[in-house]
């Protein structure tokens, strides 16, 4: 059974898109039955070009990536979410809608905060570096997530492991 993971950020234009693309990439490379999604509480309607540049530079496919509302994942017909990860402080503090999981009910929710690379100092070069470092850090956490036996872990153990990954 496919494990659906939703990554949330406020505008769904940078960090959540980087995480979605990195998780999707590594899941495919590792042969894991995991489907990544991303969304925002107040989507900006476009993906930051520097996020796309960082992903393309790493050879990551971005087809299908788009800025979208988290409402899509609480509507009828939405995929059954297993895990919801917030990656920016604003989204972590916002009240989340109800997301429906599979047989286990509500998905596990964890916060893995990152500063917004769009606000990095140093002009375009500084922002490019911040996007690349954020992409690498998210990719590392997604690899850690994919090493977990998602299909067989109980909820408490999985939640503990996800929290620990967030501390790494």
Active-site positions read 9, 88, 96
> Can you read off the two tokens belonging to residue 40?
């925002």
CA-to-CA dists, residue 88 to 10, 19, 112, 118, angstroms: 7, 11, 7, 12
User: Which residues of 13-165 form beta strands (DSSP E)?
Assistant: 34-40, 81-86, 108-111
HSE of 113, CA atoms in CB hemisphere, 13 A: 6
């Amino acid at each position: 059974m496919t494990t659906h993971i939703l990554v949330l950020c406020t505008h769904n234009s940078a960090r959540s898109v980087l995480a979605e693309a990195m998780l999707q990439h590594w899941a495919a490379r590792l042969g894991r039955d995991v489907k990544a999604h991303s969304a925002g509480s107040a989507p900006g309607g476009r993906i930051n070009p520097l996020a796309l540049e960082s992903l393309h530079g790493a050879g990551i496919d971005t087809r299908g990536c788009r800025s979208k509302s988290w409402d899509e994942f609480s509507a009828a017909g939405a995929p059954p979410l297993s895990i919801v990860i917030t990656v920016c402080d604003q989204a972590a503090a916002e009240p989340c809608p109800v997301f429906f999981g599979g047989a286990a009910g509500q998905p596990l929710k964890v916060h893995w905060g990152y500063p917004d690379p769009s606000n990095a100092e140093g002009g375009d070069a500084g922002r490019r570096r911040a996007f690349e470092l954020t992409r690498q850090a998210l990719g590392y956490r997604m690899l850690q997530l994919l090493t977990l036996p998602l299909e067989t872990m109980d909820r408490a153990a999985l939640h503990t492991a996800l929290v620990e990954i967030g501390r790494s």
